[in-house]
């Protein structure tokens, strides 16, 4: 009788549970799966072992599961597992002359990723091919003519004398590398791409031998000509005789140099970040890009945000899953902002260039025209020097809101809520969306030197102690040019301001000059 009562109680409880809406439990969303590893590669093969490696693109796995199947059977079973961040596995249970398919999954407690790509391996004494190398164009080549025909070429060999096949990948960013040729035997590939100026292009070659063992080249990069203008050697009148922090209108000599015609864009800076990321020179933490040591803040980035700018003022983005930087949609050709002096200087040095000194920046902006008069220095001495005064604004003598992006310029970008930059070179005298722009170029052809964004210079900011040399000590770095948030009065060629070198501001960008 006791058993019957117990059974009845269970039935009643189940019924009550089924009938009561209040007792319904909320659905718990399953934890997202970790990202699947990629670039699975058989590093070495012997009659008794297969050594595999892969790229870890997940940041939260607890380990990896390696699965194996007899070739073509699709009966994958566990071959082994390794801990988090380990990217190497040796299978010691293979049979000589047997072929196997391998794949790898990222695992976390209770969840697993999709499998990686599958690779086929034959347990023989096959020796792996060499890693493709000796690229043409040379890796990190600058100044490629965008109108030229580019033929990619490389070298690779196989110790067993196998005929190698090659897959070629190409794209304008790391994130858009796509296979453009499959299983070709030639070590050349002619690109049919229409190249743009001021762009970087990326490519990679994967070599495969007869046993299916592959070797991936590094991702190589070349860049088309960045538009630059030449500034001649010689003295010019720097500054104006007013105020302690403005250069007092004395002659300053500069070397001959070239300077970027435009401010560095978001697209250019993202290409730089992806290159130095691949080399392990930067890291990301809390939405900030740091140098590898974590001692210098380079730039602010969105994480997993592709429309915006949104919550921050940067148009740079970062995808943690695949560790790639990107530009928020529609912002490629705008000047990069939210970049510190350290981040700007790192960009310049990476490409063998430099940030301009204040004197170089100002000469590129004002020139040496005598249209507004001349000034004589060291009169009556053997060093007597007569110099044209140049212009107070890059385009000439008169303040003109139509020639640059200033507060209340009236251009269509005035309506943006926070970052009101214009695309580089926007003020070139053309009509844009019904808005007539003036030509804001300097006498040397440099664009956007007044307005749009302030620009970092190489120099420290302090009161001038010498009429002919910049300050040599100070905590701040000098910035030049004014920005979209200020009136045109702040954008004379000699006006200067300052910021701490670690500051990342929505109205500070930069351009580069040729290094000495």
SS3 194: coil
pLDDT tens track for 189-209: 999 988 988 788 999 999 999
- pLDDT value, residue 140: 82
- pLDDT value, residue 304: 59
- Give the list of residues 6+ apart from residue 270 with CB closer than 8 angstroms, or none: 173, 316, 325, 326, 327
d(CA 41, CA 213): 7
pLDDT tens track for 62-90: 999 999 999 999 999 999 999 999 999 99
Peptide bond into 108 cis (omega under 30): no
Q: How confident is the model at residue 490 (pLDDT cuts 50, 70, 90)?
A: confident
- pLDDT value, residue 64: 97
Tokens 């500051």 belong to 503
Both tokens of 127, joined, read 């020796």
State the span(s) of the chain assigned CATH 2.60.40.10: 38-122, 133-224
Q: Which residue, among 228, 350, 355, 366, has the nearest Cα to 291 in the 3D structure?
A: 350
Could you say which DSSP state residue 37 is in? P
CATH fold of 133-224, please? Immunoglobulin-like (2.60.40)
- pLDDT value, residue 60: 87
Q: How confident is the model at residue 29 (pLDDT cuts 50, 70, 90)?
A: low
Query: Considering the chain, what is the average pLDDT of its residues?
Result: 87
pLDDT tens track for 211-247: 888 999 999 999 888 899 999 999 999 988 555 456 6
SS3 362: helix
Tokens 């030197």 belong to 449
Answer yes or no: is pLDDT of 5 > 70.
no
The whole model's pTM is what?
Answer: 0.70
Residue 35 or 22, more confident: 35
Q: Which residue, among 454, 285, 424, 456, has the nearest Cα to 357 in the 3D structure?
A: 456
**Measuring CA to CA, how many Å separate 358 from each of 100, 411, 443?**
64, 29, 17
The CA dihedral of 156, 159, 161, 167, to the nearest 10 degrees, is -30
Backbone φ and ψ of 300, nearest 5°: -95, 145
Both tokens of 189, joined, read 């590939």
pLDDT tens track for 457-471: 999 998 765 555 666
Both tokens of 171, joined, read 């794209």
Least confident of 20-34, 72-86, 152-166, 496-510: 20-34
d(CA 51, CA 460): 54
Do residues 191 and 181 make contact, with C-beta atoms less than 8 angstroms apart?
no
- pLDDT value, residue 438: 95
Query: 160: burial class by Cβ within 10 Å (0-12, 13-18, 19+)?
Result: middle
Do residues 257 and 223 make contact, with C-beta atoms less than 8 angstroms apart?
no
Answer yes or no: is pLDDT of 4 > 90.
no
Both tokens of 478, joined, read 């000098």
d(CA 164, CA 37): 25
Q: How confident is the model at residue 28 (pLDDT cuts 50, 70, 90)?
A: low
Any bridge partners for residue 259, and if so which? Answer: 229, 513
pLDDT tens track for 280-304: 999 999 999 999 999 999 999 986 5
**What does DSSP say about strands 431-432 and 165-171: parallel, antiparallel, or unpaired?**
unpaired
Q: Give strand ranges (E) for 363-504.
A: 374-377, 385-388, 431-432, 435-436, 454-461, 476-480, 496-499
d(CA 172, CA 202): 6
Least confident of 12-16, 302-306, 374-378, 418-422: 12-16
Give me the DSSP letters along 79-147.
EEEEETT--EEEE----TT-EEEEEEEEEETTEEPPP---EEEE-SSPPPPPPPEEEESPTTEEEE-TT
Give me the DSSP letters along 213-265.
-EEEPPPEEEEEPPPEEEE-SEEEEEE-SSSTTS-EEEEEEE--EEEESSPPB
Do residues 56 and 87 make contact, with C-beta atoms less than 8 angstroms apart?
yes
d(CA 107, CA 113): 6
- pLDDT value, residue 232: 98
**Does CATH place domain 228-262+352-514 in 3.30.1330.20?**
no
- pLDDT value, residue 2: 40
SS3 499: strand
d(CA 142, CA 140): 6
- pLDDT value, residue 247: 62
Neighbours of 432 (CB within 10 A): 15
**Does CATH place domain 38-122 in 1.20.1440.60?**
no
**Element (DSSP H or E) covering residue 41:** strand 38-45
Torsion sign, CA atoms 70, 76, 81, 82: positive
- pLDDT value, residue 3: 42
Backbone φ and ψ of 49, nearest 5°: -140, 150
pLDDT tens track for 153-186: 999 999 989 899 999 999 987 778 999 999 999 9
- pLDDT value, residue 142: 75
CA-based radius of gyration for the chain = 31
């Amino acid at each position: 009788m006791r058993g019957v009562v117990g059974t009845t109680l269970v039935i009643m409880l189940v019924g009550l549970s089924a009938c009561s809406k209040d007792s319904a439990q909320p659905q718990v969303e399953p934890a997202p799966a970790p990202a699947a590893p990629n670039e699975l590669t058989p590093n070495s093969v012997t009659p008794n072992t297969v050594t595999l490696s892969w790229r870890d693109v997940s940041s939260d796995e607890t380990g990896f599961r390696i699965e194996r199947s007899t070739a073509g059977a699709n009966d994958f079973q566990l071959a082994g597992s390794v801990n988090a961040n380990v990217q190497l596995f040796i299978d010691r249970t293979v049979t000589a002359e047997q072929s196997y398919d391998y794949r790898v999954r990222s695992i976390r407690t209770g969840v697993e990723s999709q499998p990686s790509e599958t690779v086929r391996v034959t347990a023989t004494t096959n020796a792996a091919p060499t890693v493709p190398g000796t690229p043409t164009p040379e890796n990190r080549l600058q100044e490629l003519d965008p109108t030229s025909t580019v033929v990619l070429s490389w070298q690779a060999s196989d110790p067993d004398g196998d005929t190698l096949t090659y897959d070629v990948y190409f794209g304008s960013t790391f994130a858009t590398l796509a296979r453009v040729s499959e299983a070709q035997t030639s070590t050349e590939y002619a690109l049919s791409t229409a190249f743009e100026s001021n762009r970087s292009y990326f490519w990679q070659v994967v070599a495969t031998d007869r046993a299916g063992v592959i070797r991936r080249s590094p991702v190589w990069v070349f860049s088309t000509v960045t538009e630059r203008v030449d500034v001649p050697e010689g003295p010019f009148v720097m500054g104006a005789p007013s105020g302690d922090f403005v250069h007092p209108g004395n002659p300053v000599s500069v070397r001959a140099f070239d300077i970027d015609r435009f401010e560095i864009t978001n697209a250019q800076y993202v290409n730089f970040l992806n290159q130095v990321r691949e080399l392990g020179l930067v890291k990301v933490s809390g939405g900030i890009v740091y140098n590898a040591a974590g001692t210098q803040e380079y730039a602010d980035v969105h994480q997993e945000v592709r429309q915006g700018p949104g919550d921050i003022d940067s148009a740079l983005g970062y995808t943690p899953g695949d560790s790639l930087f990107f530009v928020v949609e529609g912002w490629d050709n705008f000047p990069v902002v939210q970049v510190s002096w350290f981040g700007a200087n790192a960009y310049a040095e990476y490409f063998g260039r430099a940030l301009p000194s204040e004197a170089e920046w100002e000469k590129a902006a004002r020139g040496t025209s005598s249209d507004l008069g001349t000034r004589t220095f060291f009169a009556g001495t053997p060093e007597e020097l007569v110099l044209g005064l140049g212009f107070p604004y890059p385009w000439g003598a008169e303040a003109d809101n139509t020639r640059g992006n200033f507060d209340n310029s009236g251009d269509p970008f005035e309506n943006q809520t926070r970052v009101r930059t214009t695309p580089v070179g926007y003020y070139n005298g053309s009509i844009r969306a019904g808005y007539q722009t003036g030509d804001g170029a300097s006498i040397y052809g440099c664009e956007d030197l007044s307005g749009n964004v302030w620009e970092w210079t190489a120099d420290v900011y302090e009161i001038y102690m010498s009429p002919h040399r910049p300050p040599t000590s100070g905590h701040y770095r000098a910035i030049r040019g004014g920005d979209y948030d200020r009136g045109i009065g702040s954008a004379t060629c000699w006006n200067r301001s300052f910021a701490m070198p670690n500051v990342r501001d929505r109205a500070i960008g930069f351009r580069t000059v040729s290094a000495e």
